[in-house]
């Protein structure tokens, strides 16, 4: 099977089957001759020559049928095993492809994230040296999480919340009194596994587009657990000069996040983004099935 049929040599495979049939029939006749079965049957049952030839033809036909059944059974079993092996190989290759793509997406997000953070720290060095020093210390916590706690595709919700709080602490260093930031989270966290840095693009975009140093503005980050469903809601101020399509203006962040959600939570999430012009608010709501 592996050397002929799987290699597309169907004609040679059929010739091999025919050769097996002929070989078995010849071998069967030789065994009968060695054991002197013809003479034994003739003496025992008084078989005539005509009946003898008819019995030989019938025996050969039965041998052919049994041989074909055995070859057919072996072929079916071999094909089934090959299908199973191919399916396992396909699944492994698909998993490797998904893992490679997730690593690539995370590798894109991490430099993007650190680039924005370093820009903020650079701005602080000119006006707030002590704040910049504290920002570097907080950044070390964030780097430790990104470099060591996100090696796997999943992390704990507690660690992800701590990461968000560190990020918010870092962002607060450059905010004015005109900005209000609220992080509403459950008092008791039911520990579940989530994708690392999954909430970051939404929160990062809120800080990027939802605050102003000249006008009152706000950011609301809400986290809610209901059974196996985890909901993250991010709302921020919407200003007249902002683009209507946040997905295009936010670059790789939201694009990568949607792709990561498709890979990690296929059919287990819903993501809604909406700009509410009358109340001047932009809202993101992500619901995850964490089972």
The string over 207-230, giving b where at least 16 C-beta atoms fall within 10 Å of a residue's C-beta and e elsewhere, is bbbbbeeeeebbbbbebebeeeeb
**Tens of pLDDT, residues 169-178:** 888 877 888 8
Look at residue 251 in the predicted model and tell me its pLDDT.
Answer: 45
Residues 236-286 have pLDDT tens digits of: 999 876 554 544 444 456 777 888 888 888 899 999 999 988 889 999 999
Given pLDDT bands bounded at 50, 70 and 90, which one contains residue 208?
Answer: confident
3-state secondary structure labels for all residues of the chain: CCCCCCCCCHHHHHHHHHHHHHHHHHHHHHHHHHCCHHHHHHHHHCCCHHHHHHHHHHHHHHHHHHHHHHHHHHHHHHHHHHHHHHHHHHHHHHHHHHHHHHHHHHHHHHHHHHHHHHHHHHHHHHHCHHHHHHHHHHHHHHHHHHHHHCCCCCEEHHHHHHHHHHHHHHHHCCCCCCEEEEEECCCCCCCCEECCCCCHHHHHHHHHHCCCCCCCEEEEEEEEEECCEEEEEEEEECCCCCCCCHHHHCCHHHHHHHHHHHHHCCCCEEEEEEEECCCCEEEEEEEEECC
- Please give the structure tokens belonging to residue 291: 């089972």
Rounded Cα distance, 13 and 151, in Å: 50
Report the candidate in 282, 260, 281, 286 with the shortest Cα–Cα distance to residue 99: 260
If you average pLDDT over residues 179-188, what whole number do you get? Answer: 92
Closest residue by Cα to residue 117 from 174, 187, 61: 174
Most confident of 15-19, 42-46, 268-272: 268-272
Q: How far apart are CA 228 and CA 193, in angstroms?
A: 11
Q: How far is CA 91 from the centre of its chain?
A: 10
Domains observed in the chain = 10-88 (no CATH), 92-289 (3.30.565.10)
**CA gap 29, 20 in Å, rounded:** 14
pTM over cut 0.75: no
| 47-68: average pLDDT | 72
Mind listing the pLDDT tens digit for each residue in 63-75? 888 888 888 888 8
Mean pLDDT of 210-236: 92
pLDDT at 288 over 90: yes
- The more confident residue out of 251 and 155 is 155
In Å, how far from its chain's centre is CA 262? Answer: 8
> What percent of the chain has a predicted confidence (pLDDT) above 90?
19
Q: Indicate if the pLDDT at residue 15 is higher than 80.
A: yes
> Mean pLDDT over all residues of the chain?
80
């Amino acid at each position: 099977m592996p050397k002929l049929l799987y290699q597309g040599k169907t004609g040679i495979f059929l010739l091999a089957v025919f050769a097996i049939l002929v070989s078995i029939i010849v071998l069967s006749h030789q065994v009968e001759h060695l054991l002197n079965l013809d003479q034994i049957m003739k003496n025992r049952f008084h078989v005539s020559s005509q009946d003898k030839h008819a019995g030989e033809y019938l025996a050969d036909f039965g041998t052919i049928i049994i041989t074909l059944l055995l070859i057919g059974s072996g072929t079916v079993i071999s094909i089934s095993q090959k299908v199973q092996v191919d399916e396992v190989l396909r699944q492994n290759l698909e998993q490797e492809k998904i893992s490679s793509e997730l690593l690539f997406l995370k590798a894109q997000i991490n430099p993007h994230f650190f680039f924005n953070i370093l820009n903020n720290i650079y701005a602080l060095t000119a006006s707030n040296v002590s704040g910049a020093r504290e920002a570097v210390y907080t950044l070390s916590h964030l780097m430790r999480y990104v470099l060591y706690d996100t090696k796997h595709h999943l992390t704990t919700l507690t660690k992800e919340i701590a990461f968000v709080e560190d990020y918010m602490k870092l962002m607060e260093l450059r905010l004015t009194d005109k900005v209000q930031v609220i992080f509403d989270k459950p008092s008791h966290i039911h520990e579940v596994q989530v994708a690392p840095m999954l909430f970051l693009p939404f929160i990062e975009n809120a800080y990027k587009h939802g605050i102003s140093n000249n006008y009152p503005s706000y950011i609301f980050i809400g986290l809610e657990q209901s059974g196996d469903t985890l909901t993250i809601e991010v709302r921020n101020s919407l200003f007249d000069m902002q683009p209507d399509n946040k997905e295009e203006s936010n670059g790789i962040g939201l694009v990568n996040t949607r792709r990561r959600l498709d890979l990690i939570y296929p059919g287990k999430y819903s993501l809604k983004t909406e700009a509410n012009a009358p109340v001047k608010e932009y809202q993101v709501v992500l619901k995850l099935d964490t089972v």
